[in-house]
Structure formats: structure tokens, C-alpha cells
Chains A and B, each alone.
Chain A
Amino acid sequence: MRVVAAPSNLSLTGAGNRLHRALLWATLAAGLLALYMAFVYAPKEATMGDVQRIFYFHVGAAWTALLAFFVVFLGGLAYLRTRDRRWDALALSSAEIGVVFTTITLATGSIWAKPAWGAWWTWDPRLTTTTVLWLIYVSYLILRSAIDEPERRARFAAVVGIVGFVDVPIVFLSIRLWRTIHPVLVKSEGFEMAPGMVHALLVALLACTLLYAYLLLVRTSLERRRLEVEAAKRDLGFY
């Protein structure tokens, strides 16, 4: 009788997996604390009022997106060097999560722009470069779905993931390189905010980073198990 190593852990929370659980609880705790700090602890902004509270998770999502695309870059490099498809699985998972967080960044930024600038959208350098970033990684995901051969798909995706990362420093530096109406928060003297706002922002950054780590763990496990099933099917002559 042939034996196939069936994927054992397919639950969303990864029952039985201590790291999954610990990360989930840490994410939930940090998320609740971040919400409390954004809505209660942080002082009301003098000119914009309560709508400024969008800022904490808007910046958190933007930071997480850039981190996710950095992991795509690293995963792509590691794949091209080793040809190990687990790196490709990591890059794919991180790209997906990066697109989710970039979508949140663009949407919350647009909602904040309406009361702050009087328009839902403006072709400001920060907004434009972030939109380009979103398009690059959406294209990355579309490209992957368009190529059937796994090795070729992973190789092309790694190249796009590495080249696409060029836009990340451009997004970060856009408010320093060009004239912009987007606020510049961090200057050489430090944060230009009240201490309560800085604390709330730091906790939101932590919560978003933990959420990213949790989602990456869940999504990468799923992708690796999919690869295992694919390999088992190939070994058994299903393809």
C-alpha cells in the first residue's frame, strides 16, 4: 500500500500549533490595545478633530505593506539562489498580504483626504507612488496565475518581486524628494506629534506587524501544504 504524507494542519488558527496560537493571542491583544489607544488614549487633534484617528491604522497598514514587500524581495532572492520552492511560497504569501495592506492604506488615506484636503483623491507623489506599488504587486499575483509551469512561474515571480521592490524606497522618500501635501511625520528632530499620539502610533505599528506575522504564518503554511499535495499527486501519477 502506498502512503501519502497528507497535510495534517489545515485549520485557520493552526490548532495544535503553539506558535500559531501564541501569535494569534498576541495579535488580538495588541490589536485591542491599539484600538483603545487610537480611540481613547490619544488626544483629539486640534485642527482635524476625530477624523485624525484614522491615521494610526493608516500608517500601521502602510508600514506593514512595505515590510511585506521587503519579504517578497528577500524571498525572491533566496528562491533564485536556492531554487527551493518554499522561498517562493513565502514570497507569494507576503505579496498577497502586502496587497491587502496597501489596499487598506489607499482606502483609509482616501477617506481621510476627503475631510482633510476636500477631495477623495489627488495625484500627490506619495499617493501616486503608492498606487504604482499596489499595481506592481497586483500584477505580480496576476502573472503568477497566468503561468502554469511551476518552476517558470516561481522564477518570473521572483524577478518581478525583486524589480518591483525598487518602488518601495521611492514611496518612502516621495514626501522628501518632491513637493507634497502629504504630512511628513518623522523629521530629523523626531516625531512631530503629541506624546500620546506617538504612543498610540507605536502600538498600532506593533499590532499591524503582529497581524502581518500571523497572516504570513497561516498563508505560508497553506501554500506549503498545497505544494506537498501537488508533489504527492505528481508522485502518484495524477498529473
Chain B
Amino acid sequence: MGDLWYLALAYGVIWVVLLAYLYSIARRQESLRQEVKALEEALEGESEAEEETGEAEHFLTLIQGEDAPREGPARARSAGRGRRDSC
């Protein structure tokens, strides 16, 4: 094998190792991005559930007065937990 073959092999190894490391960083970034997206979706779901129960609570207050039972928020929280656990 000539000198140039060893030279090409050495520089090839440098490129392969560096590109493999860059690829591993890119993969971890993508994985983190997916995690953030899932987190945001879970939070959006929770806030929607809280808004819905807030409206129901307001309606109950209107028709039954201030003493109306307030089960909504607890139910919403448990719904939110369910979403979190699935994340």
C-alpha cells in the first residue's frame, strides 16, 4: 500500500469520526425537540380541560348559586394527570 493510501485512510477516519459525532448530537437534539413537543401538547390538553371545567363551574354557579358542588377542577386535574402519565 502506498503513502497516499494511508493518508486517505487517516483523513477518512477523521471525517467519519467527526460526522458520526455530529450525527449523534443531531439525533439527541431531535429527541429533545420531540420531548418538548410532547410536553407542550400535554400542557395544552390540561389547560383546555381546565377551561372547559371553568365554564361548567360558571354555569353551575349561575343556575344553583354559590353553594353548587365543585367537582370540575378535581376531575380536570385527574384528566391532566392521565395525559402526563401517558407522556
Q: A residues engaging B (CB < 8 A)?
A: 1-2, 4, 6-7, 10-12, 48-51, 53-54, 57-58, 61, 96-97, 100, 103-104, 107-108, 111-112, 114-115, 211, 215, 218-219, 222, 225-226, 229, 232-233, 236-238
Contacts and interface: CB of A to CB of B under 8 A. Distances in A.
Interface of B: 1, 3-4, 6-7, 9-11, 13-14, 17-18, 21-22, 25-26, 28-29, 32-33, 35-36, 39-40, 43, 46-47, 50, 81, 84, 87
Given A2-B47, A100-B17, A114-B6, A222 B36 contact: no
Nearest to A11: B29
Contact of A51 (B7, B33, B35): B7
A12 B29 CA distance: 8
A112 B81 CA distance: 59
Nearest to A239: B84
A111 B14 CA distance: 11
Q: Which 8 A-B pairs have the closest CB atoms?
A: A1-B47, A51-B3, A54-B10, A111-B10, A50-B3, A49-B3, A108-B10, A107-B13
Given A1-B50, A12-B29, A6 B39 contact: yes
B32 A222 contact: yes
Contacts of A222: 25, 28-29, 32
